[in-house]
Amino acid sequence: MIWFLDASALVKRFAKEPGSVWLRREIVSHDLLIAQITPIEVAAALKRKWMTGRISEFAFFSGSPSTPQQPYEPAIQDCGDESAHR
């Protein structure tokens, strides 16, 4: 199953929040889809948590993107639906 995760959900992967344990357990068995802006939003949220002392420096740097990622191609291409490209 494909799950769409927004930044608030993905932050739970790196910071202890309500629902973090459940999310970490569940995401390993699903394909994940995120918006292109999500890595920036996650980095900003983690920096806020780090600056306010709610997460460690290690957690901040392990969760923040360190290298640019290749943009994800639209899911419609993954479906093999050529009629959508006309």
Task: Tell me the per-residue pLDDT of 31-61, one tens digit each, with 9 for 90 and over.
Answer: 999 999 999 998 899 889 988 988 888 877 7
Taking the whole predicted model, whether its pTM rises above 0.75 is answered as no
List pLDDT tens digits, range 10-25.
Answer: 999 888 889 999 999 9
Domain that holds residue 20: 2-85
DSSP letter string, the chain? -EEE--HHHHHTTTS--TTHHHHHHHHTTSEEE--TTHHHHHHHHHHHHHHTTSS-HHHHHHHS--SPPPPPPPHHHHTT-GGGG-
Task: Name the domain count of the chain.
Answer: 1
